[in-house]
Chains A and B, each alone.
Chain A
Amino acid sequence: MELGFFYFLLLGFAILMYVVLDGFDLGLGILYPWFDDESQRDHMMRSISHVWDGNETWLVFGGVVLFAAFPVAYGAILSTLYVPIMIMLIALIFRGVAFEYRFKSHRSKPWWDKAFAIGSSVAAFCQGLMLGSLVQGVDADAIDGSSLNWLSPFSVLTAFSVMAGYALLASCYLAMKSRGEIRDRAARLGRRLVVAVMIAMALVSLWTLIEAPEIRARWFDGYHLLLLSPLPLLSLGAGWLLFKDLGGKQHEQRPFFLAVALFVLGFAGLVVGLFPYLVPRQLTFMQALAPASSLEFLLPGVLIFVPLICAYTLWGYRIFSGKVEDFEEGY
C-alpha cells in the first residue's frame, strides 16, 4: 500500500512537472499568432530552444511511470484515448522539429512558424481532451469504431481551459525573459489570460461538482469543505495577485511562479476529486499496481535520480537565466 501510494504521488509529480514545464513552451506556440514580427518570433523560440527537449522528457517519464507502476492502467487508458494521443504525438513531432529547422531555414521559415504554432496548439488541445475524458471517466469497455468517448462538451471545455492555462504560463515566462515591446505585449496578454483561466477553472469545478455526486460528496460532506477551502481561496488569491503583478513592472519573476502556483492548486483540486482512482469509478491505483518486485527494483532509481534530475535541470535553467539576448546564436 505505501509503495503504491508513493508511485501514485510520483505519477502526480511527473504529470505536474510536465504540465508546468512543457506548459510554458507549448503555450508560446499558442501565443505565436499574437506576435507577428519575425524578430519577435526568433526571440520567443530562442527563449525555449534549450529547454523544450528536457521539458518534453517529463511526458515520457509520466508515461513510463504509468507503464512500470500501473501497467493495467497504462494499456487501458492509452488504448482508450487512442485518437487524441496519436494526434498529440504527431503535433508534438511537428512543433519539436520546428526548433531544429526554423533557424536553419530562409524560404521555409513561415512553414516552420506554422508547424510550431499549430503543433503546439493541437498538442495542448489534445492533452485537454484527454484530461476531460479521464475526469469524466472513459468507458474502457466501449471501444468500438464509432465511439468518440474522448469528445464531449466537457472535454472540449477542459481542452480550451488547458490551452488558456498553457498560454498564461507562456505569457508570464515570456515577460520574464524579454524586454520592451515583447514584454509589454506578453504582460497584456497575460492579464486577459488570468481572467480566462479563472473562469475556466470555475466552470470545470462547477461542472464536475454538478455531474459527479461522489466528487460533490468529497467536497461537501462533514468538515471536508473546511479542510479543502484553502484550494479555491488560494487560487483566487494567486489569480488576483497575478493580475495585479502583470499590470505593473516591479516583479520580474513573480508572475511566472504565481501562474505555476495556479497550476499546482488546480492539479491538487483534480487529485482531491479523483483519488484513489486512475480511471474514475473503474480502476483505483491499487488495482492497477505492479507486483512488489518491480516497484522495489525501481524505488532506489527514483530516490536517487529524481532529485539529481531536478538539480541539474535547475542548474540548466540558471545558466540561461535572465533575459534572452538576441545575439546568441547557439550552436
Chain B
Amino acid sequence: MELDAALLSRLQFAFTVSFHILFPSVTIGLATFIAVWEGLWLKTRNPVYLQLAKFWIKPFAITFGMGVVSGIVLSYEFGTNFSEFSRITGAVLGPLMAYEVLTAFFLEAGFLGVMLFGWQRVSERMHFFSTCVVALGTWISAFWIIVANSWMQTPAGYEIVDGVFQVASWPEVIFNPSMPYRLAHMLLAALITGTFVVAGVCAYYLLRRKYQPMARKGFSMALWFALVLTPLQAFVGDLHGLNVKEHQPIKLAAMEGIWPETETGAPLLLFALPSKEDETNHFEIAIPHLASLILTHELEGELQGLKSVPPEDRPPVAVVFFSFRIMVGLGVLMIAVALYGLWLRRGGRLYSSPLLLRVCTLLTPAGVVATVAGWYVVEVGRQPWLVNGLVRTMDVVSPLPAERVLFSLTMFVITYSLLLAVYLYFMRKLIRKGPPDFASLPEQLIGTHAPGYALAWVKQLDAHEKVH
C-alpha cells in the first residue's frame, strides 16, 4: 500500500492534539479549585481547606507538566506538518497564538514555580496571589485558543489577497460568530471535568472511610459545583447547537444523522448506524420530531441534511454522530448524579450512599471523556475543511515524504502511550498515598514565617554541625 503523507500528517495532528487536550481540560478546573481552597483556608483557617489544596496540587502539577510538554509539540506542528496552512493563515492565527503565549503561557509558567515550590519563600498572600494567577492563566490560554479555533469554524473579518488570508477587522476575527458559545461551552466543560475528578477521588476515599473530613468537604463542594454547572452546560450546549445549525449546517446534520437534503419534523436519534455508502442510517431508535423541536422550536421544523452537499464536502459522519452521543450521554448522566446528590443531602445521606459514591468513583474521568468527545464533534465535524468552507485540509499539508511522517507518528504513538501509562500510574500512586495528615500541619503552613521552613532550617543546621 502506498503511504499517504497527507493522511499521516492529519493522523499525527489528531493524535497529538487529542492527547494534549486530556491535560488542560483537567488543569483548568483543578487550578480554579485549588485557588478557591487556598482562599478559603486564608479566610476561615479551617485546616481541611489547606489539606485539600495541598493534596490536589500534586495531581495538578503532574497533569500540568504533561500539558506543557505535549503542548509545545502542537505549537510546532502547524509549521512542520501544515506548512501551506501556516503560510496562508499565519497572518490571522499567528498573532492570536502569540497573544496566548504573551498573556497566558508566560504567566502560568512564571507563577507556577512560586505556586509549587514557593510555599514558604513568599508571604501567604503572595502565594495565594500566585495560585490565582496560574488559574487565571489557564483561563486566558483557553480564551485565545478558542478564538483561533472558532475562527477556523466560522471565519470572519478576513480578506483573501493573492491566496493568503489577511485581517480586515480584528474585532470581527476575535468575536467571530461561534466564539462566545464555544468559549462558554469549553470553560464549563473544563470546570465540570475538574469537578468530577475531585468528586470521584473524594468518593473513593469516602467509600474506604479514609481522610473523612477532607473527603467530605471536597465531595460536598464538588457536588454543589456540579449541581450548578451541569444544567448550565446543557443550556449553553443547546445554544451552541443552534449556532452550529446556523453556521455549519452540515456538521449539525452529521451530529443528528440527517441524510435527506432537507427533513421536516426530524426525529432525535438515540441510536443508529449511519452508513456513508447507503447514505442512510440503519437500526434507528428515535424519538419522533424531537430534533426539529430542539433545534427549530417547532415540531415540523426543517433541518438541512447531508445530501444537500456532494459527498466530498461531508465530514466522516459516524465519528461525529457517535462522539456527539457519547458527550450528550455523559452530560445527562452527570446532571442526574448532581440531582441525586441534592436529593440525598435532604436526608443527610450524601456521604453514606454506596450507590452515589460508586457512581461518582466510576465517573472520575467522565468530564475528560465528554470533553474529548465534544472536541471530536467540533473538529471532525468541520472536515473536509480546515478553515470552514474556504480551505480544505488535504490542500495545505506540508509536502513531506511519507516515511518521515510515519517515523514521527510512530515515535509519538510509542512516547505518548508510555507517558499515559506512567501518568495514570503516578496519579494512582498519589491518590493512594492521600493527603498530608493533620499532624504535619505546622510544617505545611504557607508563608515566610511558617514554622515548617524554620524547622527544616534548624534540622539542616544540626545535621551540618554533626558532620563537621
* Interface, chain A (partner B; CB < 8 A): 49-51, 53-54, 56-57, 59-61, 63-69, 71-72, 74-79, 82-83, 85-87, 89-90, 92-94, 96-97, 99-101, 104-105, 143-145, 290-291, 293-294, 297-298, 301-302, 305-306, 309, 312-313, 316, 319-320, 325-328, 330-331
Contact = CB atoms under 8 A, between A and B. Distances in A.
B97 A64 contact: yes
A99 B86 CA distance: 32
A217 to B, nearest CB: 32
Nearest to A326: B460
B69 A294 contact: no
A145 B403 contact: yes
A100 B82 CA distance: 31
A100 B68 CA distance: 11
Nearest to B458: A327
B105 A60 contact: yes
Contacts of B183: none
Contacts of A96: 65, 68-69
Given A297-B167, A298-B98, A316-B114, A79 B91 contact: no
Interface stretch (B72-80, B245-253, B357-365): B72-80
Contact of B98 (A68, A100, A143): A68
Contact of B84 (A68, A75, A294, A297): A75
Contacts of A99: 65
A302 B102 contact: yes
Contacts of B415: 90, 93-94
Contacts of A49: 117
Chain B: interface secondary structure?
Answer: helix
B114 to A, nearest CB: 6
Contact of B429 (A65, A92, A104, A320): A104
B110 A85 contact: no
Contact of A79 (B111, B400, B419): B400
A174 B101 CA distance: 29
Given A56-B68, A99-B65, A298-B99, 17 more contacts: A54-B112, A61-B98, A67-B75, A67-B97, A68-B95, A83-B408, A86-B80, A89-B73, A93-B69, A100-B61, A105-B426, A291-B167, A293-B91, A297-B170, A305-B106, A316-B113, A328-B117
Nearest to A48: B113
Interface stretch (B118-126, B207-215, B263-271, B274-282): B118-126
Contact of A72 (B78, B87, B161): B87
A53 B91 CA distance: 27
A331 B119 contact: yes
A297 B411 CA distance: 38
A49 B116 CA distance: 10
A17 B400 CA distance: 31
B106 to A, nearest CB: 4
A294 B113 contact: no
A104 B68 contact: no
Contact of B90 (A50, A75, A97): A75
A51 B103 CA distance: 18
Contacts of A51: 113
A89 B415 CA distance: 11
B61 A90 contact: no
B72 A56 contact: yes
